[in-house]
Structures are given as C-alpha cells and as structure tokens.
Chain A
Amino acid sequence: MNRFTLLPAISMLALFTGRAEAFDRFVEVGEPPECSADSVVRALEGTMCCFSFHEVKRPVTQVYMLEAGGTSALDTYLSPVRYHGYNLSLAGSWSKRLPWGGNSWQMTFDADAGFSRMLNPAKNALMLGFDASFAWGAAWTRTIDTGVSFTAGGSVSAECGVLYLTRNSNNPASAKAALSIAATASASYPFRIGRLPVRVSDRVSLPSLSVFFSPQYGETYYEIYLGNRSGLAHFGWWGNRFCIDNLLAFDLDIGPSALRLGYRYTLRSSWTNSLNTQIQSHSFVVGWIPHGIGLRRNAPSPEAISIYSL
C-alpha cells in the first residue's frame, strides 16, 4: 500500500474531527505489517513522520444539527402539481481557520442527508424524497470593532437525491445529481441575553455554476437504461438552475457545549428541457456544538483546544 496516498484522507479526518490525540499517535508507530484497518492507521502514523507538524491555535468548530420542517416539491417530469409535506435531515458542519493571510481565512466542510414525505393536493398520492450533499468551502473572514464578523468565499459541492412518486408507471422517479461551485457569505454577532452568551449568525450559500443531471422532457429511465445517455448532463447557471441555502442560527453558549437553535431555508430549482423543478423547505434547526463557541467567561482558551496541523 502506498502510504502517501492515504495522507489527505487522514489529514481531512483529523482536521474535521479535531482529534488531536489521534495525531499524537503518529509519532509512536513505525512500518505497517499488513494492509488492514489497523495497518492503515499505522501506515498513516508512519507517513506523518515524513512531514513537519506544528501545534497551532486554530481549533475546529463542529456543529451537528437535526432539522425538521415543511417542504414542497414541484417536478413536472413527475407531475404538474406541487406536493407538500415534511422533511427531516441530519447535518454537520466542521470549520477551522486556515493559516493564510494571518489566519483571516477559514475552511468549512458541510454534509447533510435528508428525507422528505409529501402528498399531492388531493392527498391520494405519495412522493418520497431522499437527498445528500457534501460541500467544501473556504472563506475570507473579517471582524470589525462592533464584534460583527463577516465571511465571504466559495465552495465546491456534490449533491445527489431522488424524488419518487409511487403512483407513476414508467416515470416513477426523478433523479437529482449536481456538482456545483457556490458563493458563500455569512455574518455573525455575539451578544448576551441576561447572562447567557449568544451568537446570532446568518449563512447563505448560492450555487452559481454547476453541472447537473436531467433527463430529456419525455425520456424514460428505461431508455437511459437501454443506453441512450446523450444530453443528460447540463451546464447550470442562475438562468436554468437556481438554488439557495440560508441558515439563520442562534448559538446559546450553555455549559461546556453550545446549543444551536435556528431556521434553514433551502430552494433547489431548475428549468431545463422544458422541465420545471422547484423543491423548497423551511426547517427548524436544533444543533449541538461540542466545544461551545467560546463566549463564556470561563470558556476553554484556544490553547486548551489546540490541534496539530500541517
């Protein structure tokens, strides 16, 4: 096994999990005896000896969220009527400062997986939705004297999913897949409610250019299965594919962790091959931030949660 090929994976893993102790083990073990799960770790540990690591004060902020709310979907490949129902999803966000421009950049990795269940207006047909997305982004940050912080940057993302309309015959599902480049921005402001430290933030992601999948207007998946795969990938821009993800969050710095309460609005729409797709959701967000947001007076100092990084 080429140990060097595994370096990016373990670097990302450590970066996003913030498990400094995992890195500590890098220096302890030598050559891996075989290719197994254990040996992979050992290989990585050995590999890391080849690089210079520094203790840095750029902690990883982790947020885990459960989201629930109302959703609606119109997909004219499946039906001309809009379906309404609820959605549930799990999301995670991991971010840390980057050593660029005097720590004025931060990178973020976001992942989420969701499920939705919707009915038509007559309430006699069921549509199910499944989706997952992953995004990596970097953003320039700036904090002004008032304590307000801003970020502006971009991200690359991959998303996939499906809408499944159980009553349809040869067009029962509408698959979704896209690779996107998005513009991102956020603003946050720390304040107190009584003695409770709170940070309010709003983060918006606006996929701007993409490559996405769509069948032709009346093309069945059977024809695609037969091998006709021409014209399925489309270049997307705001004129034919418009998506937005906006998260308004209140992070309450209670105890050793912080509680996130928020609202997320998402819209995924596209117009291609005379097919109209509009999927939007309004979700209540409950989240957990394991190490808090550092606003408490007795919050752990950055030194206490330092990590090792390249």
Chain B
Amino acid sequence: MKANHLLRLVAAVAAIVALTGCHDAPDYKDSAEGNFDALWSIIDSRYCFFEEKDIDWEAIGEKYRSRIDADTRGLKLFNLFGEMLDELQDGHVNLISSFNTSYYRKWWTDYPQNFNLRTLEEYYLDFDWMTTSGIIYKRLTPEIGYIYYPSFSSGISETALDYVFLYLSDCETLIFDVRDNGGGMLTNVERLAGRFITREITGGYIRHKTGPGHNDFSEPYRFTYKPADEARPKWLKPIIILTNRSTFSAANDFIACMKGMDGVTVVGARTGGGGGLPFSSELPNGWSVRFSASPISDRNGNPTEFGIEPDHEVDAPDEELAQGKDAILDYAIALAGQSNQQ
C-alpha cells in the first residue's frame, strides 16, 4: 500500500514536471555558431518588416552561416553579423558591442543631405537665437517664427513650450525645421503635437508581434493625441515643416501625424522612415541587438517605414549650402510670405 502511495506521488511529481518542462528556453552556446543562431532566431521571430521588404531571411541565414569558420570571432564575427543585419535595410537595426556598433547607413548616405547646420546658424540665425529644452527658436522676421528641433531625444517641458509659443505668438507663420532630426522619444511627439491641435486627433496606428511567425501581428491599434491644456499657448496658425532624408524615427512619426492637418505644409525631401518601434535583445556573448518590432502607420493606415513624401519637394544642393544658401528654408520663407500676404 505504501509503495502504491509512493508511486502515485512520483507520478504526480512527474506530471507537474511534464506540464512545466515542455516550455524549454532556448539554450544558445557562446560560440560563433551559438551566437549566430541566437541572432538569426531573434530577428526571425521578432523583426516586423520581412513582408514589406520582401526579405528571405532563411536564405540570408544560410548565406551568412556558411561563412563562419574556425577563425570567425571578435571583430570578424561582429562584422559578419553586421553585414547580415544590413540585409534588413533598416536604420533601427544595430548590433552593439563594447568595441563597435553596427549601423545600416544607406537609408541616408545614398541621398542628398539637404541641410547644413553651420549655414543655418550663420546665414539665417546670425549666430543669435534662443534655446530651451533642445529647441532653437527665433523670429526670422516679425511675421515668421522659426523653430529648429534637432532631436526628439531632448526632453521638452511644457513650460519650455509655453515660453517658445508665447515668444512667437505675434508671428503669422511658423517654420518648424526637423531636418537631421534622427528621432528619440515618442512622448515628445505627443507633447509637441498637442500644441498644434484643439481636439483629439488620430496620431496613427500601431501593431505588435503576437508570436514568432513572420505574419503574427495584432490588429492595428488607433492611438490618439490630445491637445495641450487650454491654458497653455498653442500654435493654430499656418506651419511649414522642413524635412530631409535624415528626418527619422520619432521625427518621421511627427511628420506622419502633422502632414495633412489644416494649415500644415511639409517642405523638403522625403523623410528617412524608421516606422518600426525598436525592441532590444542580446546574444550569449553579451552583444546587444536592436531591431524594429512594432510597425507604425499614419492616420490613413499607410506604412511610415519607407518615409513620408513632402507636400513640396525641394532640394538644397550642397554647393549652395556651402555658400550660405539654404534653398529649402528659402522656399519656406517665400511660402510664408505668400501665406502672410493672403
């Protein structure tokens, strides 16, 4: 009888182990192959733009796995991994080690820059501007206000925005320059957008992976932006937003939100995209990997990963910028003049 009880106990414990033991975690070795498998699997299960970019990740995996040999370690291994990640053609994909960070640069290096900070500071701002919370602002003329916001990584305080918009409140048109803005925090997009609206608007749609399959996605979730508190100053007059190819990620999302709103005109070049909210993971050897995980689309459901077309496409050639002429800003100033005359 006692033996029977013991057997039952053993069976119960085995059942418990069986119930829980089937969820084994991946166990990657800290070797060239182990790290490769970890990296390939992380991207395979979590990256979100395989279909949009028509990427055959299986074939890419085979191609790069075959290049691993006994000497593949350290920088050589890092460069191999970086090359494989470049196949994703995504500025949100990085491999980060203590000695280097891989970075797909072609999304902007293959395009004209259309911006020169020195030219802006010297010839348009006369080395004289005001700045707060990472925002550079000035009245270019009594009628034209100008804001240059170089990064959404700089936290914007509501108080700082109060001062900026109060200072510019007498102007008739605002030029909002986000050229070379590589993105940052989406909460800054929300805060900034709140100054340009009087009612809640659709900011866009976001999806996330629901499983490791390439097409395992949630339904698009509509997110909204609310206007800033009524007591705070807002800008409800015409806005001209300046963009270039290096307008990326959160800055790209800002354009997606603003473009098409009443009184908003986007001038410059197509933005760089970066419409996938990045996730992080890591390899057994300690290298960190970042990649697009949650696709964001604009309020009409269009993907933003491949950039956003301006309303007025204008180029600012490098040779002109070197001579102190910013054709995109000049175009915006002329447009503002026309708008003010009307």
Contact between chains at A219 and B294 (CB < 8 Å): yes
Q: Which of A26-34, A77-85, A138-146, A190-198 contacts B (4 or more CB under 8 A)?
A: A77-85
List residues of chain B with CB within 8 A of the CB of A216.
208-210, 218
B286's partner among A121, A220, A239, A269 (CB-CB below 8 A) is A121
* Alpha-carbon distance between A271 and B284 when the two chains are bound, in angstroms: 22
A222's partner among B19, B277, B290 (CB-CB below 8 A) is B277
Contact between chains at A168 and B286 (CB < 8 Å): no
Contact between chains at A220 and B277 (CB < 8 Å): yes
List residues of chain B with CB within 8 A of the CB of A167.
280, 282, 288
List residues of chain B with CB within 8 A of the CB of A227.
221, 223-224
Known: A227-B223, A242-B16. A220 touches B282 (CB 8 A): no
User: In this assembly, does A122 line the interface, its C-beta being within 8 Å of a C-beta of chain B?
Assistant: yes
A169's partner among B209, B216, B278, B285 (CB-CB below 8 A) is B278
- Within A141-191, which residues are at the interface with B (CB < 8 Å)? 165, 167-172
List residues of chain B with CB within 8 A of the CB of A11.
none
Known: A226-B206, A273-B210. A80 touches B38 (CB 8 A): yes
Q: Nearest 8 pairs between A and B by C-beta?
A: A122-B286, A218-B209, A168-B280, A271-B23, A242-B20, A226-B223, A228-B221, A219-B208
Contact between chains at B280 and A171 (CB < 8 Å): yes
* Alpha-carbon distance between A166 and B28 when the two chains are bound, in angstroms: 22
A279 to chain B, nearest CB (A): 12
User: In this assembly, does A223 line the interface, its C-beta being within 8 Å of a C-beta of chain B?
Assistant: yes
User: In this assembly, does A274 line the interface, its C-beta being within 8 Å of a C-beta of chain B?
Assistant: yes
B295 to chain A, nearest CB (A): 10
List residues of chain A with CB within 8 A of the CB of B223.
223, 226-228
* Alpha-carbon distance between A217 and B214 when the two chains are bound, in angstroms: 13
B28 to chain A, nearest CB (A): 7
A122 to chain B, nearest CB (A): 3
Residue of A nearest to B282 (CB): A79
List residues of chain B with CB within 8 A of the CB of A219.
208-209, 218, 294
Contact between chains at B279 and A120 (CB < 8 Å): no
Q: Other than the known A122-B285, A216-B218, A242-B16, what 15 A-B pairs have Cβ atoms closer than 8 Å?
A: A76-B25, A79-B281, A80-B42, A81-B283, A120-B286, A125-B286, A167-B280, A168-B280, A171-B293, A217-B211, A217-B212, A219-B208, A223-B277, A226-B223, A239-B19
A217 to chain B, nearest CB (A): 5
User: In this assembly, does A278 line the interface, its C-beta being within 8 Å of a C-beta of chain B?
Assistant: yes
User: In this assembly, does B156 line the interface, its C-beta being within 8 Å of a C-beta of chain A?
Assistant: no
B304 to chain A, nearest CB (A): 15
- Within A46-68, which residues are at the interface with B (CB < 8 Å)? none
* Alpha-carbon distance between A79 and B42 when the two chains are bound, in angstroms: 9
B88 to chain A, nearest CB (A): 16
Contact between chains at B286 and A218 (CB < 8 Å): no
Contact between chains at A169 and B279 (CB < 8 Å): yes
User: In this assembly, does B98 line the interface, its C-beta being within 8 Å of a C-beta of chain A?
Assistant: yes
User: In this assembly, does A123 line the interface, its C-beta being within 8 Å of a C-beta of chain B?
Assistant: yes
User: In this assembly, does A276 line the interface, its C-beta being within 8 Å of a C-beta of chain B?
Assistant: yes
List residues of chain B with CB within 8 A of the CB of A120.
282, 286
List residues of chain A with CB within 8 A of the CB of B28.
80-81
Contact between chains at A170 and B281 (CB < 8 Å): no
* Alpha-carbon distance between A82 and B26 when the two chains are bound, in angstroms: 10
List residues of chain A with CB within 8 A of the CB of B281.
78-80, 168
List residues of chain B with CB within 8 A of the CB of A79.
281-282
User: In this assembly, does A238 line the interface, its C-beta being within 8 Å of a C-beta of chain B?
Assistant: yes
Contact between chains at A121 and B284 (CB < 8 Å): yes
User: In this assembly, does A74 line the interface, its C-beta being within 8 Å of a C-beta of chain B?
Assistant: yes
Contact between chains at B293 and A80 (CB < 8 Å): no
Contact digits for B187-217, partner A, Cβ 8 Å, 1 yes 0 no: 0000000000000000000101111100010
List residues of chain A with CB within 8 A of the CB of B294.
218-220, 223
Contact between chains at B208 and A238 (CB < 8 Å): no
* Alpha-carbon distance between A6 and B26 when the two chains are bound, in angstroms: 51
Residue of B nearest to A226 (CB): B223
* Alpha-carbon distance between A217 and B41 when the two chains are bound, in angstroms: 14
List residues of chain A with CB within 8 A of the CB of B206.
223, 226, 228
User: In this assembly, does A36 line the interface, its C-beta being within 8 Å of a C-beta of chain B?
Assistant: no
Contact between chains at B279 and A170 (CB < 8 Å): yes
- Within B3-40, which residues are at the interface with A (CB < 8 Å)? 16, 19-20, 23, 25-26, 28, 30, 38
* Alpha-carbon distance between A82 and B16 when the two chains are bound, in angstroms: 22
List residues of chain A with CB within 8 A of the CB of B280.
165, 167-172
A-B residue pairs in contact (CB < 8 Å), sample of 11? A76-B26, A122-B285, A125-B282, A168-B279, A217-B212, A218-B293, A218-B294, A219-B208, A223-B206, A223-B221, A226-B223
* Alpha-carbon distance between A78 and B48 when the two chains are bound, in angstroms: 17
Residue of B nearest to A241 (CB): B20
* Alpha-carbon distance between A242 and B280 when the two chains are bound, in angstroms: 27
B48's partner among A74, A172, A218 (CB-CB below 8 A) is A218
* Alpha-carbon distance between A5 and B292 when the two chains are bound, in angstroms: 52
List residues of chain A with CB within 8 A of the CB of B299.
none
User: In this assembly, does B46 line the interface, its C-beta being within 8 Å of a C-beta of chain A?
Assistant: yes
List residues of chain B with CB within 8 A of the CB of A172.
280
Residue of A nearest to B16 (CB): A238
User: In this assembly, does B186 line the interface, its C-beta being within 8 Å of a C-beta of chain A?
Assistant: yes
List residues of chain B with CB within 8 A of the CB of A170.
277-280, 293
* Alpha-carbon distance between A217 and B211 when the two chains are bound, in angstroms: 6
A76 to chain B, nearest CB (A): 7
List residues of chain A with CB within 8 A of the CB of B19.
238-239, 242
User: In this assembly, does A301 line the interface, its C-beta being within 8 Å of a C-beta of chain B?
Assistant: no
Residue of A nearest to B296 (CB): A223
* Alpha-carbon distance between A133 and B290 when the two chains are bound, in angstroms: 33
Contact between chains at B25 and A74 (CB < 8 Å): yes
User: In this assembly, does A298 line the interface, its C-beta being within 8 Å of a C-beta of chain B?
Assistant: no
List residues of chain B with CB within 8 A of the CB of A121.
30, 284, 286
